Structure 1
Amino acid sequence: MSTYTIQWYPGHIARAERQLKEQLKRVDVVLEVLDARVPLASHHPDIPQWIGSKPRVLVLNRTDMVPPEVLQNWQTWFVARGETPYLTDAQRGRGIKTLVKATQRAGASVNQRRRDRGMRPRPVRAVVLGFPNVGKSALINRLVGRKVVESARRPGVTRQLKWVRISDEIELLDAPGVIPPRLDDRVAALKLAICEDIGEAAYDNQRVSAAMVEMLAELGEVEVLLSRYGYDPRAMTGESFLHQLARDRYSADIERAARQLLDDFRKGILGPVPLEHPPAIASVGSTRTPLEPASERDY
């Protein structure tokens, strides 16, 4: 599968990251939100360093876009590595009650220490962290039970940090999506672009859509492309697939065909299709950290 370099780091992200590091000093619990389609690629490599010893609740969101058997495999993989993933679908409100309870449990020690010092309990302060467009704002709205922050299926909607009271027990900090200044794993960068977890200005639609076709073919997701478009991706390159689609359906408009391919995946028209599967269980005993970014062989 061919790859090319994707570069991004909008100015508002850099400013928000500086502000976030300051606010993290006030936070008790961290909710790290991953895209269930790409759990490894959507993990920010700096988060463990930022949060130190603070309790972390791992959230796999957009579970409606991944087959149940793949989610089960991810659960097994994370548990084997000492993690407990909480599965959510913020669009439909699934998994929210369980996540609230997990957040309360993670922050319980804070108020226990306050009681031990003769202080009154206070709401647990949690922050929601993750790449742009993994569904953080939609998740917060579900946790609160009403729309308190802007939410849309595109990156860059949240631009400022904002504290939101969920209940007498929990306060949440909604933070803009955070992305590394650079990502050396080009395959991971492509996955993020395909899922629209980074801004469109960072990549070329035609190259990304062609790479998506080849990636789905290598993952064995041939039928979703064959049934939707009528072409077998194993019989041609991703670029040839895109050009054929443009000639047959879009008056040779390659850019329009590229956007349609990406939209069909992002809107779920192709069905629940993952871009990553858990690495082999044999790797559980390796020295990789629990959420070290995927290598080019992990998809």
Structure 2
Amino acid sequence: MSSPPIQWYPGHIAKAERALAEQLKRVDVVLEVRDARIPLSTHHPNVANWIGSREALLVMNREDMIPSEVRQQWATWFEQQGQVAIFTNAQHGKGIAQLAQAAKVAGTAMNQRRRDRGMLPRPVRAVAIGFPNVGKSALINRLLNKRVVTSARRPGVTRQLRWVRISEELELLDAPGVLPSLLSDQKAALKLAICDDIGDASYDNQRVASSLVDLLWDLADRPGGANPEVLKTRYGVEVQGLTGESYLENLGIERYQGDRERAARQLLNDFRKGSLGAIALELPPV
């Protein structure tokens, strides 16, 4: 019997999306923030509508959690798609200055139009949008160099839209994470669950942890793909030749007194904290 689909309860997200649509009327620049571990799965299908004719910047946060080889692969791939990806690590401030400068430059055309109409320049208004827990609030705190919005490595912390003055030249709207009301791609849903980017969700931890192991095997032969042997190094449990489900079973038996649920939670927690090393769950399409 197949496992039930991953589900979430987007009541507050639907409300936030309506509020976001209203505030977008005031926005000059859209910062689309994605999780560098899963750049494709954290692309919201409504982004193109939200951007419209506005300037847009693609931000790949958590760049520290993927190998540098994969970071370069994605940079090249996005460039081939006509996009420049700005890689950031909001926890430690890497890439933040570049992002702030890019946002100001993106708003230059807006102020030039104001001058052409005899109006005074004003701060560029930007909005950070993306899935829950991709690091939008942490980015804002880094841009300000102080903690002014609540930020945590768990989804659903930001529940209301809030304008924050970054500088005399830049204002930024902190928006709650938004999920599609329906995500038919369960492979993408599993990746979101593995990375904890899914908000208020209902899913089977054992299924998600097993999928993590299977994903490591799927990508093992690709340049930049993780070596599943990191699991043996971390837990001392043989992984060679095992499916995710079989490995989780053995991990539970050998390390957690037969408790598969505890094994699943530990495996997911270690991945999310980076204790397994820098691991990308998506590589550029070939």
Per the alignment, residue 289 of structure 1 pairs with none
Q: How does 1:213-224 map to 2 (within 5 A)?
A: 213-220=213-220, 221-224=227-230
Helix, strand or coil at the partner of 2:277:
coil
Q: How does 1:264-279 map to 2 (within 5 A)?
A: 264-279=270-285
Per the alignment, residue 147 of structure 1 pairs with 147
For residues 141-200 of structure 1, what are the alpha-carbon distances to aligned partners after superposition, in whole Å with 9 as ceiling and x for unaligned?
A: 001111110000000000000000000000000000011001111111110000000136
User: Within 1, Cα distance between the matches of 2:101 and 2:3?
Assistant: 42
Is 2:258 the counterpart of 1:252? yes
Q: How does 1:67-216 map to 2 (within 5 A)?
A: 67-199=67-199, 201-216=201-216
Write the letter of the residue equivalent to 1:174: D
User: Within 2, Cα distance between the matches of 1:224 and 1:202?
Assistant: 28
How many residues are paired up? 279
Cα offset, 1:233, TM superposition = 3.4
Structure 1: gaps (5+ residues): 281-299
Per the alignment, residue 35 of structure 2 pairs with 35
Cα separation, partners in 2 of 1:130 and 1:8, compared to 1, 3 Å: same
User: Within 1, Cα distance between the matches of 2:200 and 2:266?
Assistant: 14
Per the alignment, residue 62 of structure 1 pairs with 62
Helix, strand or coil at the partner of 2:7:
coil
User: Within 1, Cα distance between the matches of 2:152 and 2:189?
Assistant: 21
For residues 12-53 of structure 1, what are the alpha-carbon distances to aligned partners after superposition, in whole Å with 9 as ceiling and x for unaligned?
A: 101000000000011000000010000000000111012211
Decide whether the 8 Å contact of 2:156 with 2:200 is kept in 1.
no
Helix, strand or coil at the partner of 1:198:
coil
4+ residue runs over 2 A deviation: 199-202, 229-234
User: Within 1, Cα distance between the matches of 2:73 and 2:92?
Assistant: 22
Write the letter of the residue equivalent to 1:236: L
Structure 2: gaps (5+ residues): 221-226
Helix, strand or coil at the partner of 1:60:
strand
Sequence identity of aligned pairs in percent? 64
Write the letter of the residue equivalent to 2:19: Q
Cα offset, 1:228, TM superposition = 1.4
Is 2:272 the counterpart of 1:262? no
Helix, strand or coil at the partner of 2:134:
coil
Helix, strand or coil at the partner of 2:127:
strand
State the TM-score, normalized to the length of structure 2.
0.95
User: Within 2, Cα distance between the matches of 1:250 and 1:272?
Assistant: 25
